[in-house]
Structure 1
Amino acid sequence: MIAILVHGRLVEGTARLDFLWQLQASQEKKEMDVLQESNKRILHNLLPAHVAAHFLDAQFRNNMVRSRILPYPLTY
């Protein structure tokens, strides 16, 4: 009987922590989205539109990540 009560408290504590972490994650995601939009506005204000679009392009970002990981260019 005591084991069931202890287990119930542990499950409740875990559920509460999970809820708080989920709430924190959603708040951080909202903050991240606001910061990302702010960065895009700054980039568009500093650079011409076609250059800013190039830097915001997903293909360009993927190439930048690969170039940081690999010490040599990837060729097929």
Structure 2
Amino acid sequence: MDKFMEIAIRGGLLLLLVVAVLHTLDRQGEFVSRTDFLWKAKLKVEQEEVETMRGINKILLENILPAHVAQHFLKKEVTKDLYHESYSSVGVMFASIPNYKEFYDETDVNKQGLECLRLLNEIICDFDKLLLKPKFSGIEKIKTIGSTYMIASGLRPGKEEGAFKNNEAVSEE
């Protein structure tokens, strides 16, 4: 009977050891699964942030560069080359409101300057609408800085020299 008790105790201890090991493995598997889930969730958030920043950068780049130049820098492959192109005939125009800084006033009459900014926004939007018309398709908005509006004509990528003069002459209306 003594031998039977010793085997039963050893068997019980072995069974307890097996249960403890299985429980530890289960907890470890649970911990790894939770950690993996949290890492994947964090990765998803970070990827969404990257995509958002990529979209913002694309909009900003397209806003400050001509469309064909922005596309050069937005290509998927990494390029270390700077963009350059040679044109024989290019025109640049700066339209500015003289003394805008003196006109801009942050008083209660101008709603803390909002009326001045609204007027400036209207003028810039009118210029932008004009550039959408087909007869101004050869003109590219370069940038707006404060009250200065900058555009250029003659930046026709991929067009042969003189093609704009011969085939795409703009009629004045």
TM-score band by shorter chain is: 0.7 to 0.9
Match of 2:67 among 17, 38, 49: 49
1:25 aligns with 2:43: yes
Counterpart mapping for 1:1-76 below 5 A: 1-59=19-77, 61=78, 63-64=79-80
Bigger radius of gyration among the two: 2
Q: CA deviation at 1:38?
A: 0.1
TM-score, length-scaled by structure 1: 0.76
Task: In structure 1, list runs of 5 or more residues that go unmatched.
Answer: 65-76
More strand by share: 2
Q: Which amino acid aligns with 1:21?
A: W
Instruction: Work out the number of aligned pairs and report it.
Output: 62
CA distance in 2, matches of 1:39, 1:12: 40
More helix by share: 1
Higher relative contact order (CA 8 A, sep 6+): 2
Task: In structure 2, list runs of 5 or more residues that go unmatched.
Answer: 1-18, 81-173
TM-score, length-scaled by structure 2: 0.35
Give deviations 1:14-61, integer Å, cap 9, x for gaps. Answer: 0000000000000111111000000000000110111101111234x2
Q: Which amino acid aligns with 1:44?
A: E
In the TM superposition, structure 1's runs of 4+ consecutive aligned residues that sit over 6 Å from their partners are none
CA distance in 1, matches of 2:52, 2:33: 29
Q: Which amino acid aligns with 1:28?
A: E
CA distance in 2, matches of 1:10, 1:22: 18
CA distance in 2, matches of 1:33, 1:16: 26
Q: Which amino acid aligns with 1:26?
A: K
Quick one: percent identity of the two aligned structures? Answer: 35
Cα RMSD (Å): 1.0
